[in-house]
Amino acid sequence: MNYLVYNAVEAILEADTSLSKQDKVKILAVCKNPSMFVEPVERILPRVLTLNEVAQILRVTRTTIWRMMKDGRLRRMDYWGRARFRQDEVERLMGIGVEQIKQDPQPQSG
């Protein structure tokens, strides 16, 4: 790593109070030797699920998944014209409870 870049990273880390000293040491070690840093792809990229996988996880039909997309309860991503879903989005839905997932959303008054 370029000496000037390393010094810049070191200065930024010194100013950052949110990181522990141990974390700062790890970051600087990676800067010195990037090959020691091998991050699993699963931790870098979000897990993406198919419509069938989401339906299976939530134990609902594909039709229910399409309704949930239409009414905004479930956000989708499009990959080459195919619906895909982030795992964290599905986990968010699981946190609200299966009974609420199966129900149609209540109209908002306002």
**Residues 71 and 105: beta-carbon distance below 8 Å:** yes
What domains, with CATH codes, occur in the chain? 3-38 (no CATH), 43-102 (1.10.1660.10)
pLDDT of residue 51: 93
pLDDT tens digits, residue range 35-80?
655 555 455 556 788 999 999 988 899 999 999 999 998 988 887 7
65: burial class by Cβ within 10 Å (0-12, 13-18, 19+)? buried
Nearest to 49 by CA among 80, 79, 81: 79
d(CA 101, CA 98): 5
- Residue with the bigger pLDDT between 70 and 21: it is 70
**Residues 55 and 61: beta-carbon distance below 8 Å:** yes
* pTM for this predicted structure: 0.48
